[in-house]
Amino acid sequence: MKKTSNRLADGREIIYYDLRDDALRTATDQRPLPPIEAHSEIRYDPLLAEWVGITAHRNARTYHPPADECPLCPSREGRMSEIPEPDYDVAVFENRFPSFRGGPDKATSETAVNANELFTHRHGAGRCEVVSFTSDHNASFADLSEEQARLVLDVWTDRTSELSQAPGVEQVYCFENRGEEIGVTLSHPHGQIYAYPFTTPRTARMLRSVAAYGEGPGGDNLFDDLVAAEIADGERIVLDGEHWTAFVPYAAHWPYEVHLYPKPRVPDLLALDEPARAEFPAIYLELLRRFDRVFGEGEPRTPYIAAWHQAPFVRGRGHDFAVREEFALHLELFTIRRAPGKLKFLAGSESGMNVFINDVPPEVAAQRLREVASP
């Protein structure tokens, strides 16, 4: 993998990751871009004990551009995009409309308290990046070769390594949203990376559960025992490789939801060994292709979210977390489609009370995902 860093016209960084060591990335961004005006603030919700991002500038972000104006396609004469090169393997660049941006300084790193001490806020330090998986506008991640998918895994790992060292960053989150039903505003195959200035509520909740379980009679690791229980039960296993296990969880929230864990447990992408990295492309591509077949021929490609869960890189503020080595890296892949032509909406119970109601029994989902295995 060859890595080349450059700058866009407004100063944002763009990084090319190439399969060939002789790839040259020298094109310059000729667009007359104004400076970025992005102010990110996070406010604390004392009832839920979590931070909320306030980012008014994101209302102006690009929304469903026509294919010939896609900002993620390579640039060509007369049509400059976010990626100045005429072709590329994988490109990563700072989001022009970031949810979090910049490092903290003395004036912004500390929590500010308003006249009412319940109202506290901080600068939304961190970084948001766009990861374009391929220069092919009409492709999808599932269309990538194993070599290309391995390159993306290496990109996620490299970005995790670099962003985890940025001032103020506590957690790095690599993810992909696909499909208009999910809310995707650009159809070009891409994902994003968020470097958060706090530990996310979902991760904090997992860590508390792991800590409580470890203090119980068995004193074991909750992630290890859950994965072992799914393997022993077997009914919800979708794929079981030498170095990865994929299953529909017993209490799945979404109609079709698969969790993918490496063997053995590691806290983040940085800790994956080479055998796991080598096997990942085939396992992951097969899962994505099954998702595209699960609703039958003639259906549009399945909308999904693919989310890497990694351990925080520092202890969360005000939380009594287990050590990060107790966390288990895993990927959660799920769709909001519950049947052909039908979506699962987060209605009153899910949105109002965070109580999920799943219309598809996990065992049925797992069986269907096994049925649509590649020949």
Residues forming the active site:
190
- Residue 61 carries which side chain, given as an amino acid letter? R
- Residue 171 carries which side chain, given as an amino acid letter? Q
| Cβ atoms 298, 216 nearer than 8 A | no
E strand intervals along 180-242: 190-196, 237-240
DSSP string for 70-131: -TTSBPBTTB--SB-SS--SEEEEE-SS-SS-B---TTTSSPEE-SSTT-EEEE--BEEEEE
| CA separation for the pair 51, 68 (Å, rounded) | 38
214 exposure class (CB count in 10 Å sphere: 0-12, 13-18, 19+)? middle
Long-range pairs of 232-236 with CB within 8 A, sequence gap ≥ 24? 235/363, 235/366, 236/362, 236/363, 236/366
Placement of tokens 């159809």 in the chain: 187
